Amino acid sequence: FPPDLTRSRELPRHAQVAIIGGGIIGLACARELALMGAKDVVVLERGNLLCEASGGNGGGLWPNEMAYGAGPFHALGTRSLEML
């Protein structure tokens, strides 16, 4: 992130972009927007960053029985487990 990144518990009155969720996806989106020059982006998270699903997953993409067959996403999850 750029050096002017600030963290506050106070809600801003205005933002060009509001990202709901401070998990890996929300933070990645905020980072990309900042790299593209966005100046007024806020990430809203009810708790601490990366402490909900992203923190609980430990960096893994977990294959599961809900996946539709042994397609590319299931293969990616399986490979992710092997790398831990």
pLDDT digits (tens, 9 = 90+) for 1-51: 444 556 777 888 888 999 999 888 899 999 999 999 998 899 998 888 777
The pLDDT value recorded for residue 33 is 94
Q: What is the C-alpha separation between 84 and 71, in angstroms, rounded? A: 21
Contacts of 24 (CB under 8 A, 6+ apart): 50, 54
**DSSP string covering 28-51:** HHHHHHHHTT---EEEE-SSSTT-
